[in-house]
Amino acid sequence: SSGINAEYGVVPSCYYDRILLFCGGMGLTLGLILLNKGLAMEKSGPGVLMRNFDIVTAYLIQILIFNNTPSVLSIVGSVLILSSIMIVTVKKLFFEHCKVWEF
């Protein structure tokens, strides 16, 4: 048996797995806190763009580590999301750059 059955998942029976699960949760929580602090101190455009590259990282992990290829519809959806975010960010940065050179 891999663990104790729970209503919404499986609780790991091995203490090593519990420690890894706890450390993963703490790492993600710390990452979200730092992202929130960073977005409060800086412009949100580049920060949000970098945060959305988690989609690309998740696909790479899914393909390279778990040998699980995502469906075509999933890839098309993520490409649409990433391209729209990149277009908005580039447009915003371009117009901010043009305002600097105006007299």
Q: What is the pLDDT of residues 7-53, one digit of tens each?
A: 677 778 889 999 999 999 999 899 889 878 887 887 766 666 677 77
The span from the CA of 96 to the CA of 102, in Å, is 10
Q: Are 81 and 52 in contact (CB under 8 A)?
A: yes
Instruction: Please report the pLDDT score of residue 94 as a whole number.
Output: 79
The DSSP element (H or E) to which 5 belongs, if any, is: strand 3-5
The span from the CA of 24 to the CA of 19, in Å, is 8
**Which of 29-33, 64-68, 87-91 comes out lowest in average pLDDT?**
87-91
Instruction: Please report the pLDDT score of residue 65 as a whole number.
Output: 87
E-strand ranges in 8-91 read: 10-12
Instruction: Please report the pLDDT score of residue 16 as a whole number.
Output: 93
Output 94 or 80, whichever has higher pLDDT: 80
Residue type, 36: N
